[in-house]
Chains A and B, each alone.
Chain A
Amino acid sequence: MLQFSPWKTTIVLLVCLLGLIYAAPNLLTADYSRDVPNFAPGKKVSLGLDLQGGSYLLLKVELDVVIDERLESITAAVRQDLRKEKIGYRGLGADNGAVRLTIRETGDIDKARGILEKLDPQTVVTVDDAGNASIVLTEQAAKDARSAAVQQSIEIVRRRIDETGVREPTIQRQGEDRILLQLPGVDDPERIKALLGQTAKMTFRLVDITASLANALAGRVPPGAQLLEAANAGPGQQSHYVVKRKIEVSGENLVDAQPTFQDGQPVVSFRFDTVGAKRFGTTTSENVSRPFAIVLDNKVISAPVIREPILGGTGIISGSFTVASANDLALLLRAGALPAPLVVLEERTVGPGLGADSIEAGKIASIIGLILVAGFMIVAYGLFGVFANIALIFNITLIVGALSALQATLTLPGIAGIVLTVGMAVDANVLIFERIREEILIGRSPMSAIDAGYKRALTTIIDSNLTTLFAAIFLYSFGSGPIKGFAVTLAIGIVTSMFTAVMVTRLMVVLWLRRRRPTAVPI
């Protein structure tokens, strides 16, 4: 064991050197991480949000809404097509993931089945002999719709976040219906949460002037119309509107929206694409002097009366805006609507002050921990303690180097993991040194005692480290955020410490033995 072959020496030195090269950039103040390709040296350890400050938001896309909307549109199509064919039905509605209705005349069933089956190729239609019909989306269609909705949500979230000017946000899909947002430097995410809390579906629809608002409020809404709340009704203003369900133009056709002022009031100006402009032109031409509702997320922002046809495809939304709310609405319209509402499931925000304090505390704890452990090793094992301490320094270098190379995130618990590893790394040396002492005690020569010490301690060292590694792996697979950071540094630390405590100290001991040829081991 004490014959340290040249190639073994080379490998040990090479690993230590690599560790130094990868860890070195962390000593620099400048950050070149962006200019360096993956796995090449030059990167710094990337700090978790709990250390650099920032906001972590876990969002859920309410996918049921997507399916419900799809069923709603099928319901509308059923209504239209059955009426056209003069087929009587009752109880039409969508619930529990299916559109249900009952055909009145049994004679109409076959014909109705034909019509229903033609509505949407992605549905399964069942009609029984009593005329009870149900239409459900095929599993594949539902899955595709959900998946597409999440993808689209991520895109919209990205656009909205980009518009707010947050630098280097991380937006990831997590699981089936979740989006993980990491926003470095954001210490007050209230505005972002507010922006993401709106789907921002904008529609332009006609107000149903034939309907009476009083009737509608009492629950008698005419078919094809809808009772909607006003977005920000002040006292004395109309609180509800009866609006036609038919969408004249939708927000999808908007190409631009900007906050601006009109008569000193903040407003939002918008511009349609060609299709939108054409539709908007037609509608406004046909409905001059009628009120036109601008609806955002099922609330009426305003319902101005059309004074003249608007053919240029541009317009202005006025409402009771403040400068900030006009800004936000313009931003939302530019970024586009979310296919489904988002809910914040989890938030963890750390301000820059706490982050900096945590780094400072982590540094102090690491240095004091290192001094205590290193001092103890020298007191307990003398020269061999010094060897162990040199290995310990290499161990820390290797951990930092590995974290930089893998671009793993260093979190506050991660720092605790490094300090803990400092205490655990020397354990292997304690086991080796104690064994050497025992071997000397039974009368072995220095050479043979040291040889036996390393040999015999090895399995115990592997045993100890493996069990802790198991714990780290399970922690990583089940933990979240900062705790994952702990698991990562612990796991890396276990692996590197096995290398440094066994190989690096052995190299030093061998060199020392060759040079000094001692007759007694100072341990």
Chain B
Amino acid sequence: MLKPIRFIPPGTNFPFVPNRRIAFLFSALLVVGSVIALFTQGLNFGIDFRGGILMEIRTPGPSDVPTIRSTLSELGLGDVSIQEFGTETDVLIRIQRQDGDERAQLAAIEAVKAALGSEVDYRRTEFVGPTVGEELKEAGTLAVGLALISILLYIWFRFEWQFGVGAIIALSHDIISTIGLFALIQHEFNLATVAAVLTIAGYSINDTVVVFDRVRENLRKYKRMDLVELFNMSVNETLSRTTMTSLTTLLALLAIYFFGGAVLADFALAMIWGICIGTYSSIFIAVPILLYINLKRSEEDPTGVSVPQDERIGDS
């Protein structure tokens, strides 16, 4: 018979909550660093939001990037970025939004196609006009905002408000640091990245819910236990769950990152980061932060002995 391996044996007891200050310091640096990167470097918005032209071409032999660069720079299209994409025959050309209306952008595409000739294979041509770029930016912001609000409302409805605050802080931490990562490494921030951020928002709350459920259960069970100890116990009891669920999802994402093609790689990268940081924040941020919020325990149990676990459905 198959013998399952227990990656995290029962009785594991890492001092997560007692060492919370180290985690807080790390997270504070992460968030502050993200904000600084966001303001100094800014996001490298893709054409989805900025408007402009993106072309992916495949040349018959290995691409001669310098020649392509000099050919295109003669067209006077402003800022043109050229980079190898995935393989040595593929090149990604990004052309800044042209002055003037949509017609000017179309003229630029035609000019590039004329300059590069017919022996190159135009694998992908994307053009987003200024109008649509603005709309997509608005829609993206709105989608992230509304999704966050609905998730928060749900958490608020499911738990006492103190837990809601913990969840909000952890969730904001995850999202800010994901966006910060993209500002730092200057990878393109496009619609797919927004999709990743939204999915992270929906997914990273899962681990938090798992741990919070256990904290609530233990609060009822051990009425006299020191909160730091109780929180730490809850985190350790659910550690197997929070890490294993993240691991399975990470495995799937690694497959996308390495084998899903260049188009999806950045999406997968954002998700991988988001899931790691989401698990981290559930353990190191969401729970310890409850110590600083006025968490009310139900009336003192005079005996101080643990009461039997109740039969409430749904404490995982």
A372 touches B254 (CB 8 A): yes
Give a binary string over B222-240; 1 marks a CB under 8 Å from any A CB, 0 the rest.
0000000000000001001
A190 at the interface (CB under 8 A from B): yes
| CA–CA, A385 and B191, complex, Å | 35
B143 touches A376 (CB 8 A): no
Chain B residues with CB below 8 A from A415, complex form: 260
Instruction: How many A-B residue pairs have C-beta atoms within 8 angstroms? Tell me.
Output: 269
Chain B residues with CB below 8 A from A416, complex form: 256, 260, 264, 267-268
A467 touches B202 (CB 8 A): yes
Comparing A6-14, A216-224, A282-290, A468-476, the segment that makes contact with chain B is: A468-476
| CA–CA, A461 and B241, complex, Å | 12
Chain A residues with CB below 8 A from B124, complex form: 348-351, 354
Interface residue from A384, A419, A441 paired with B260 (Cβ < 8 Å): A419
| CA–CA, A457 and B206, complex, Å | 12
Known: A346-B127, A483-B191. A460 touches B314 (CB 8 A): yes
B305 at the interface (CB under 8 A from A): no
A419 touches B4 (CB 8 A): no
B64 at the interface (CB under 8 A from A): no
| CA–CA, A431 and B237, complex, Å | 12
Known: A376-B248, A377-B248. A347 touches B2 (CB 8 A): no
B248 touches A426 (CB 8 A): yes
Known: A434-B240, A463-B209. A373 touches B252 (CB 8 A): yes
Interface residue from B7, B136, B151 paired with A380 (Cβ < 8 Å): B7
Give a binary string over B18-55; 1 marks a CB under 8 Å from any A CB, 0 the rest.
00000000000000000000000000000000000000
| CA–CA, A345 and B131, complex, Å | 7
| CA–CA, A124 and B136, complex, Å | 38
Give a binary string over A459-498; 1 marks a CB under 8 Å from any B CB, 0 the rest.
1110110111111101101111011001100100000000
Comparing A81-89, A238-246, A360-368, the segment that makes contact with chain B is: A360-368
A420 touches B260 (CB 8 A): no
B261 touches A459 (CB 8 A): no
A353 at the interface (CB under 8 A from B): yes
A385 touches B4 (CB 8 A): yes
Known: A413-B192, A457-B316, A478-B139. A470 touches B151 (CB 8 A): yes
How far, in Å, is B268 (CB) from chain A's closest CB? 7
A420 touches B252 (CB 8 A): yes
Known: A193-B106, A382-B3, A475-B143. A460 touches B209 (CB 8 A): yes
Chain B residues with CB below 8 A from A420, complex form: 199, 249, 252-253, 256, 271
| CA–CA, A424 and B10, complex, Å | 24
A351 touches B123 (CB 8 A): yes
B259 touches A364 (CB 8 A): yes
CB-contacts of A365-401 with B (<8 A): 365-366, 368-369, 372-373, 376-386
A423 at the interface (CB under 8 A from B): yes
Interface residue from A357, A372, A456 paired with B251 (Cβ < 8 Å): A372
How far, in Å, is A396 (CB) from chain B's closest CB? 12
A459 touches B198 (CB 8 A): no
B184 at the interface (CB under 8 A from A): no
Chain A residues with CB below 8 A from B125, complex form: 347-349
A149 at the interface (CB under 8 A from B): no
| CA–CA, A426 and B151, complex, Å | 22
Give a binary string over B123-150; 1 marks a CB under 8 Å from any A CB, 0 the rest.
1111111011000100110111011001
A369 touches B316 (CB 8 A): no
B113 touches A422 (CB 8 A): no
Chain B residues with CB below 8 A from A366, complex form: 255
Most buried by A among B10, B121, B198: B198
Known: A187-B122, A353-B123, A459-B316. A412 touches B263 (CB 8 A): yes
A70 at the interface (CB under 8 A from B): no
Interface residue from A369, A379, A471 paired with B4 (Cβ < 8 Å): A379
Most buried by A among B110, B154, B255: B255
Interface residue from A351, A386, A426, A470 paired with B122 (Cβ < 8 Å): A351
A460 touches B316 (CB 8 A): yes
Residue of A whose beta carbon sits closest to that of B263: A412
Most buried by A among B139, B248, B249, B268: B248
B165 at the interface (CB under 8 A from A): no
Chain A residues with CB below 8 A from B84, complex form: none
Chain B residues with CB below 8 A from A161, complex form: none
B261 touches A435 (CB 8 A): no
Chain A residues with CB below 8 A from B195, complex form: 413, 475, 479, 483, 486-487
For this complex, 16 residue pairs linking A to B, each with C-beta atoms less than 8 Å apart, are A345-B102, A346-B128, A347-B126, A357-B261, A362-B260, A369-B254, A380-B4, A382-B1, A424-B248, A430-B245, A456-B315, A463-B158, A467-B151, A474-B143, A478-B142, A523-B4
Q: Known contacts A385-B4, A430-B245, A471-B203; can you find 6 more A-B pairs with CB under 8 A?
A: A351-B124, A373-B251, A382-B4, A422-B252, A424-B249, A464-B205
Name B's A-contacting residues (CB within 8 A).
1-7, 10, 56, 58, 101-103, 106, 109-110, 113, 121-129, 131-132, 136, 139-140, 142-144, 146-147, 150-151, 154-155, 158, 191-192, 194-195, 198-199, 201-203, 205-206, 209-210, 213, 237, 240-241, 244-245, 247-256, 258-261, 263-264, 267-268, 271, 313-316
Minimum-distance CB pairs A-B, first 7 = A459-B314, A423-B252, A471-B202, A369-B255, A361-B261, A468-B202, A460-B316
